[in-house]
């Protein structure tokens, strides 16, 4: 049997995507925790950003982006509002954003996931692709964080533990 | 309006997931290409596997796992069948698996994505979660590969280029 539309076969529901993403965020939180305070802000390989900077990027994307999608606000991306000085600053903000993500994500309708939106006035893609990008970008940077931890002689959390 | 089931709001279709995954695979292929031959097989940070080994893992998961899902075969995971000696060996097999993935993925029904399957006789999860794991695992290891490339002084491909 052939299909005439691209949306006839559902891969996953929005609730399943949110649970999947928050599972990843739990793991990323444990990677942040695994860094010694000093190395979190200073350790780097090959000129890349320290993991604190990568975490600040992730924090500056997820909640603000979802809020922008829901409110159809195309304001530019910025990390200016968040300048953490300690690991505790990062973890506290991380947990606050968990609730922001849940709040805004649940307001996105099925139709909206398929609509194009110019995120941050710069990334014009269907909403579902923008959201996949947030998750992928987190997994990507966390993979770099795993490498930093290994280089520091620290065993990272198991990749498959998401609770 | 509240919903009573978890599958009422579609996040994405299976065709969109496949396109997304193959986009990631295009990028991973370019990361493999970016490594000098010797470093692909030998360079490592913190006791981690060289990128050739990580690529061999990715090749040994995707196609074989989808074939197992479609055929309901729970045979164990193995990398024994693939021992590449050159970058060209890896890229050739990578391209062959692109077709294997397309072939088997398209045979998975919407209902099947939600059914639990004991992948490789070891990973008992809903099929959609197993497939997300393949993609995430690739993005994770590729993030490590980016760090290797940076440590080698090589600029990796842009993360957002997937063609």
pLDDT in tens, B119-154: 988 999 999 999 999 999 999 999 999 999 999 999
Tokens at residue B105, please?
Answer: 């993925």
Q: Please report residues of A whose CB lies closer than 8 A to that of B142.
A: 140, 143
Asked if B152 has any chain A CB less than 8 Å from its own CB, the reply is yes
Asked if B12 has any chain A CB less than 8 Å from its own CB, the reply is yes
Asked if B140 has any chain A CB less than 8 Å from its own CB, the reply is yes
Q: Please report residues of B whose CB lies closer than 8 A to that of A141.
A: 143
Judged against a pLDDT cut of 70, whether residue B8 lies above it is answered with yes
Q: Please report residues of A whose CB lies closer than 8 A to that of B138.
A: none
Q: What is the pLDDT of residue B77?
A: 87
Q: What band does B20 get if pLDDT is binned at 50, 70 and 90?
A: very high
In a domain, A2, yes or no: no
CA distance A106 to A112: 12
CA distance B103 to A33: 42
CA distance A160 to B133: 9
- Quote ipTM for the complex: 0.93
Domain that holds residue A78: 14-151
Give the residue-averaged pLDDT of A118-133. 94
Asked if B44 has any chain A CB less than 8 Å from its own CB, the reply is no
Judged against a pLDDT cut of 80, whether residue A5 lies above it is answered with no
In a domain, A120, yes or no: yes
Q: Please report residues of B whose CB lies closer than 8 A to that of A143.
A: 139-144, 146-147
A26, A58, A112 from A83: Cα distances, Å: 21, 13, 32
- Among chain B residues, the shortest Cα distance to A45 is held by B151
CA distance B81 to B60: 8
B39 CB-side CA count, 13 A = 17
Tokens at residue B125, please?
Answer: 């999860």
Q: What is the pLDDT of residue A80?
A: 83
Asked if B7 has any chain A CB less than 8 Å from its own CB, the reply is yes
Q: Please report residues of A whose CB lies closer than 8 A to that of B155.
A: none
Which residue of A5, A7, A11 to mutate against B (max B Cβ within 10 Å)?
A: A11
Give the residue-averaged pLDDT of B3-10. 64
In a domain, B2, yes or no: no
Judged against a pLDDT cut of 80, whether residue B7 lies above it is answered with no
Q: What is the pLDDT of residue B6?
A: 52
Give the residue-averaged pLDDT of A133-144. 97
Give the residue-averaged pLDDT of A91-99. 98
Q: For residue range B50-66, what is the model confidence (pLDDT) as tens digits?
A: 999 999 999 999 999 99
- Among chain A residues, the shortest Cα distance to B13 is held by A10
In a domain, A160, yes or no: no
3-state secondary structure of A31: helix
What string of DSSP letters covers A47-86?
A: TPPPHHHHHHHHHHHHHHHHHHHHHT--PPP--TT----S
Give the residue-averaged pLDDT of A111-122. 94
CA distance A120 to A71: 12
Q: What band does B75 get if pLDDT is binned at 50, 70 and 90?
A: confident
Give the residue-averaged pLDDT of B54-83. 92
Asked if A137 has any chain B CB less than 8 Å from its own CB, the reply is yes
For residue B19, the distance in angstroms to the closest alpha carbon of chain A comes to 11
In a domain, B28, yes or no: yes
Neighbour-count burial for B132-163, b at 16+ CB within 10 Å, e otherwise: bbbbbbbbbbbbbbbbbbbbeeeebbebeebe
Q: What is the pLDDT of residue A1?
A: 37
Give the residue-averaged pLDDT of A20-42. 98
Q: What band does A77 get if pLDDT is binned at 50, 70 and 90?
A: confident
The structural domain count of chain A equals 1
Give the residue-averaged pLDDT of B42-49. 97
Averaged pLDDT of chain A: 93
Asked if B91 has any chain A CB less than 8 Å from its own CB, the reply is no
Q: What band does A6 get if pLDDT is binned at 50, 70 and 90?
A: low
CATH number, domain of A76, equals 1.20.120.450
A135, B36, B116, B127, B152 from A141: Cα distances, Å: 10, 23, 30, 26, 18
For residue B98, the distance in angstroms to the closest alpha carbon of chain A comes to 19
Select from A16, A55, A17, A10 the least CA-distant residue to A132: A17
In a domain, B103, yes or no: yes
In a domain, A7, yes or no: no
In a domain, A113, yes or no: yes
Residue B141 labeled ligand binder: yes
Scanning chain A, the segments in alpha helix (DSSP H) are: 14-34, 37-42, 51-71, 87-105, 110-114, 127-151
CA distance A124 to B155: 26
- In chain B, at which residue ranges do the beta strands (DSSP E only) sit? 10-13, 116-119, 123-126
Select from A107, A136, A113 the least CA-distant residue to A126: A113
């Amino acid at each position: 049997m052939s299909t005439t539309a691209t949306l006839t076969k559902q891969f996953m529901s929005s609730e399943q995507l949110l649970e999947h993403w928050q599972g990843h965020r739990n793991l990323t939180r444990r990677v942040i925790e695994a860094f010694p305070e000093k190395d979190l802000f200073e350790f780097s390989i090959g000129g890349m950003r320290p993991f604190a900077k990568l975490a600040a990027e992730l924090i500056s994307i997820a909640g603000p982006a979802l809020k922008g999608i829901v409110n159809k606000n195309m304001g530019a991306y910025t990390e200016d509002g968040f300048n953490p000085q300690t690991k505790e600053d990062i973890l506290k903000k991380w947990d606050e954003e968990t609730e922001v993500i849940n709040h805004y994500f649940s307001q996105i309708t099925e139709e909206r996931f398929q609509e194009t939106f110019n995120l941050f006035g710069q990334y014009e893609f269907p909403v579902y692709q923008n959201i996949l990008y947030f998750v992928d970008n987190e997994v990507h940077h966390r993979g770099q964080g795993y490498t930093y931890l290994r280089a520091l002689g620290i065993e990272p959390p198991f990749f498959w533990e998401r609770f």
